[in-house]
Amino acid sequence: MCGIVGIYGYSAVNQGLYDALTVLQHRGQDAAGIVTEQDGKFFLRKSNGMVRDVFRTRHMQRLVGDKGIGHVRYPTAGSSSSSESQPFYVNSPYGIVLAHNGNLTNADELTPGLYKSDLRHINTTSDSEVLLNALAHELQRRGKLKPLPEDIFAAVSGVMARCRGAYAAVAMISGHGMLAFRDPHGIRPAVYGSRTLDDGRTEYMIASESVALDAQGFAIIADIKPGEAVYIDEAGQLHTHQCHAVEHFTPCIFEHVYFARPDSIIDGISVYKSRLRMGETLANKILREWPDHDIDVVIPIPDTSRTSALQLAHHLGVKFREGFIKNRYIGRTFIMPGQQQRKKSVKQKLNPIGLEFKGKNVLLVDDSIVRGTTCEQIIEMARDAGAAKVYFASAAPAIRHPNVYGIDMPATSELIAHGRTLAEIEQAIGADKLIYQDLEDLIVATRTRKSSVVDFECSVFNGEYITGDITPDYLAALQQRRNDSAKTNKRDSGDESALIDLHNDDNEE
């Protein structure tokens, strides 16, 4: 999962992009990058690390220009190479930079064709570079020195006909304008908005989540529709076009479960309200299947489960308490690249408040359970703090399948629920009782009459991959790339240093 942002303005945008990436930092902690444009030239800074660490004063001073795009990244296949941080750049047929959130499921098929037929060199293993070169080739086919909006949209149509999977992308074409587009299923989110200056001119912003626009004072215009492209030309005029028929509007439901900030609105759905409803439906399941429960207190696992846990406690008529204090200077363990690093960080990140546990039957609530190692350690911490019994509830259903659309789910064999019964999972994590949300209830909780979204991408729960191109061989290859041993070997091999980004200034560090 990644975060993207683009600002088309009339004054320096470096600070605005930096602030937006900080707001989107929850979407990726592996790397960050910004490209700005001034007088037809691009200025780039990108590197591994958090936004606050990648950009120093000297970098910000060099990011001149009134237009720019930015990206925060975490790797979906274990690579932490700075060469794969975004945005990416090509210089033909124009100077083009692109930032991408998602995953192309046919990237391996596209790469040979880009080289042999399109005469384009791919320098990394990133599918985002494949997407950029596919876009560049489609623009080059039009052969226009000065492309019109219809040329841009025709190129995007060509990209969508060629690329499969999930993608929400923002790009700049040097001297011509800013472009954003979203895959025909609308799996990954993207929203755009505007603000009017005192002199009457209009600035535009594109981002993964509405909260980034809110923080910069932009009013939301709309979510980018599935298969739609948005283009702001060199005169500052906004153009939109449906470049591909909507195949089946199915945004990723895991955005609402875990990734998105609760104050975001995605495709007309409030993330906060959907999480409230997840708590209600989970409470209803407990009352239906365990009416004589002996829960004394409901305690959330900070932070994403807090909203659901609060509503769950309210509907159960049970006390809600904050039982864990979170060290906010430790990263999200789900995003960390290796199992040993995740294990080490859990007890550094959370510390129990003993009086909320001592002698009580505690229901711990988390947004989801992926590997199970984190909740196993948290349950152990609760017992050590004196809990009489420790129950565990997940606001999401059991995750039994890998994600192929841009979320770094582990290899199938590393998923705690894969191939296990509920009783076996309870035993594995050490819980006295485990309650999962039902998938039907999760969909009902997320769906709202205010949104046109009816169905969601739920493959991690049901194994149904909506793009229709995911084979057992694809999943087997994905498992090889994503398992923790592969990630460790990749980090330890040192071979990433052979990839050199000629447009970065990392050598100053």
Q: Tell me the one-letter amino acid at 49.
A: G
Count the neighbouring beta carbons within 10 Å of the beta carbon of residue 274: 23
Q: Which two tokens stand for residue 376?
A: 């196993």
Q: Give the residue numbers marked as catalytic.
A: 2
Three-state DSSP class for residue 297: strand
d(CA 365, CA 193): 35
Tell whether 421 is in a known binding site: no
Residue 30 labeled ligand binder: no
Cis peptide before 441 (omega within 30 of 0): no
Residues 6+ apart with CB under 8 A from 395: 257, 275, 278, 279, 282, 305, 308, 309, 365, 366, 367, 368, 437, 442
Q: Is 91 exposed, middle or buried (0-12, 13-18, 19+ CB in 10 A)?
A: exposed
Counting every residue written for the chain, the total comes to 509
The Cβ of residue 496 has, within 10 Å, a number of other Cβ atoms equal to 16
CA distance 472 to 24: 34
Q: Say if residues 8 and 18 touch (Cβ distance below 8 Å).
A: no
Check if the beta carbon of residue 392 is closer than 8 Å to that of residue 375.
yes
Q: Helix or strand or coil: residue 335?
A: helix
HSE, CB side, 13 Å, CA atoms: give it for residue 456.
Answer: 25
- Cα 506–508–509 angle (5° rounding)? 80
263: left (phi over 0), alpha (psi -120 to 50) or beta: alpha
Query: Contact at 8 Å (CB) between 447 and 251?
Result: no
Left if phi > 0, otherwise alpha if psi is -120 to 50, otherwise beta: which for 200? Answer: left
Q: Rounded to 5 degrees, what angle do the CA atoms 389, 394, 399 make?
A: 125
Does 367 show up as a binding residue in the annotation? yes
Query: How far apart, in whole angstroms, are the C-alpha atoms of residue 455 and residue 464?
Result: 12
CB atoms within 10 A of CB 62: 13
The distance in angstroms from the start CA to the end CA of the chain is 27
Which is it for strands 177-182 and 165-173: parallel, antiparallel or unpaired?
antiparallel
With tokens 């100053």, the residue in question is: 508
Q: In the sheet that 191-196 helps form, which strands lie side by side, from edge to edge?
A: 41-48, 31-38, 67-73, 3-8, 202-207, 191-196, 219-223
Binding site residue list for Mg(2+): 304, 366-367
Binding site residue list: 304, 366-367
